[in-house]
Amino acid sequence: MLLSGTLLLALALVSRAANPCCSNPCQNQGVCMTMGYDGYKCDCTRTGYYGENCSSPEFRTWLRVTLKPSPSTVHYILTHFKGVWNIINNIPFLRNAIMGYVLTSRSHLIDSPPTYNSDYGYKSWEAYSNLSYYTRTLPPVGHDCPTPMGVKGKKELPDAKLIVEKFLLRRKFIPDPQGTNIMFAFFAQHFTHQFFKTDTKKGAAFTKGLGHGVDLNHVYGETLDRQHKLRLFKDGKLKHQMIDGEMYPPTVKDTQVEMIYPPHIPEHLKFAVGQDVFGLVPGLMMYATIWLREHNRVCDILKQEHPEWDDERTFQTTRLILIGETIKIVIEDYVQHLSGYHFKLKFDPELLFNQRFQYQNRIAAEFNTLYHWHPLLPDTFQVQDQEYSYQQFLYNNSVILDHGISQMVESFSRQIAGRVAGGRNVPPAVQRVAMASIQQSRQMRYHSMNEYRKRFQLKPFSSFQELTGEKEMAAELESLYGDIDAMELYPGLLVEKPRPGAIFGETMVEMGAPFSLKGLMGNAICSPEYWKPSTFGGDVGFEIVNTASLQKLICHNVKDCPVTSFQVLQPRPAETATINASTSNSALDDVNPTLLLKERSSEL
C-alpha cells in the first residue's frame, strides 16, 4: 500500500506541468512569479505596460513606441548625411542635447542597482550585495524547464565543438569593412581585463574583480599588496627600468609581483605590471608600457604644480587623472570608431547632472560573454617587415625590445583586424576559447538570443535566415537548434549578419552599448561630487583629462610620436629588413600556442 502511494505521488509530480515561467510569458520586462505549481503572475510595475502578460501599452508608452525610430533607422541616420552632422557637431547645444540623449537612452537600459546572479533568479540581498558574482541582465533559465532555453528548441543543445567548427571557425581571414586595426584589438583586450576577470576556481558566474568598472587595476594591481610592489614610493611614481633611454616595466625579479609566464622565459623578459596575464602577447605589454609611462609623466606634472604634496597624494591623484583619460579615450576614440557615426561623441559628465542617474556599476555576465571578439585577431602579426605566427608571438616580450614601442604602434595601426559578425572568422589558434565561451554560457543557463533582443527593445528574429542573412548557415543552424527561439546568445552574436559595411551585427551593438556607457559614466569621477578641478589636482590635471585622446597618449609617451588611430592607416613604402622573427622569439618555437591559450581562455 505504501509503495503504491509513493508511485502515485511520483507519477503526479512527473505529470505536473513545467514551471509556467519557463515560457517567458511576461513581456516588456514584466517579472514572472509562479503562483502555485502551475500558475503565474506578471508584475508589470513601472514597465509602461499592463495586462496578464504585460503586453498592452499604456497610452504614453504606445505614443513613445510609435514615434520612436527603430535601431536600424537610427543607425542609418547617424552613419549617413555627413554634411549635416558636421554642422551639428559644431553647434554646442545641439551636440550636447544629442549626446545627453544617447547617454540616458542607453544607460537606462541597464538595471541599477543589480537584480540577479547565476544562483538567484529572483531579487535577493545576496544577488545585490555579493560582489564576487557577475550580475545578470536576465535571470538564469530554470533547472526545472523542459529545454535548455525554457520551452523552445530541442532537449539537448548541439555539441559546442561542432558549433565552433561549422559556424565560427575561420576558413579564410575576413577583414573588417570598417577598417578596424590591430591597435584597436589590443586596446580592447587590455582595457577590458580590468573588469572581465572570471574566477575559474569558483566558476563562470564569479569574478575576481572587486571594482566592477574602470579603476585601472590592470595598471595598478587588484590588491593593495600588488600595488605597493609596483610603486616606487617616490614622487607618486611606479617602478620602471630604462632600456636604451626608454621607460619599460620593471621585472618580476625586481618587484616580486606574480605574473604568468612559461618557465623558460628569461628573467629580463618577465615584465611585471598590474594584470598578471599581460605577458601573454606583446600587444598587451605594449599598452601596459604606454600607461606606465603616462602615469609617471603625469606625476612629474603634478609634482611641479604641487611641490608640497607627498608621494601618496601625488600617486592617488594621478590615478584619478588616468581613469579620466581612459574614459575619454574610450568614448571619443574607441566607441566613436566602433559606432561608425558621423555624429561626434562627447565625454562630458555634466550632461547627466540633471538626470536620474546612479553612479555605481556591476559587471554583467552577459557583457563579459558578448565581449569575446576573437575574430578581430589576424592570422599572423606584422611588426615592421617581420611576420610573427602565434607560436612566435605568445609570451615574447623580446618583440617589444627588438622593435620598440614606436614601431609596434605604427605597425599595429596599419594592420587590419577581422570582422566580428557574420560567422566563420575565429582564428584556429583560439578555437578552444570559443568552445569555452559556449560551454560557460551553458553553465550560466543564459536565455536565448531572442530573449535578450526583447530585453534590449529589439524585435526578435523570426527565422534563422533573418538572423544570418543567408540560407546555408541558416538551414544548418535550424537543423541543430530546431527553433529560432532556442538560438544561443554567444554563437548567435557571431553568426548574426553584420550591419552594412560594419564590424558587428545589430544585437552586439544594441546590447553592448548600454553596458559600456553605463559602466563608463557610472564611474565615481563622473559624479557631481568628483567632477571638478580639485579632484584632479587643479586646472592642470583637469585639462589633461578633458583634452585626452589616443593620439595624445601616444605622442606624450612614444618616441617620434607615430600617427595612430583605431582605423587602419595606409601602409608606408617598404622599409629595409633589420630583424628576423625566427631569431628574436626567445626560443618560443617549442611552445604550443593552442595549449597556452586554452589555459588562459577565461581571461581572453
**pLDDT tens-digit map of 250-300:** 999 999 999 999 999 999 999 999 999 999 999 999 999 999 999 999 999
pLDDT at 160: 98
- Torsion angle, CA of 141/147/149/154, rounded to 10 degrees? 170
Is 337 an active-site residue?
no
445-466 confidence digits (pLDDT tens) = 999 999 999 999 999 999 999 9
212 is catalytic: no
pLDDT of residue 582: 37
Which ranges of the chain have pLDDT less than 50?
Answer: 1-15, 574-604
| C-beta neighbour count of 453 within 10 angstroms | 19
Given the residues 190, 193, 240, 372, select the one marked as catalytic: 193
CB-CB contact of 162 with 312 (8 Å): no
Catalytic residue among 108, 371, 530, 556: 371
Q: Give 288-328 as a DSSP string.
A: HHHHHHHHHHHHHHHHHH-TT--HHHHHHHHHHHHHHHHHH
Provide the grid cell at 19: 514551471
How many of the other CB atoms lie within 10 Å of CB of 178? 22
pLDDT score recorded for residue 571 = 59
Classify burial at 360, counting beta carbons within 10 Å of its beta carbon; exposed 0-12, middle 13-18, buried 19 or more: middle
Three-class secondary structure of residue 555 per DSSP: helix
Angle CA(199)–CA(204)–CA(209) in degrees, nearest 5? Answer: 35
**What's residue 211's pLDDT?**
82
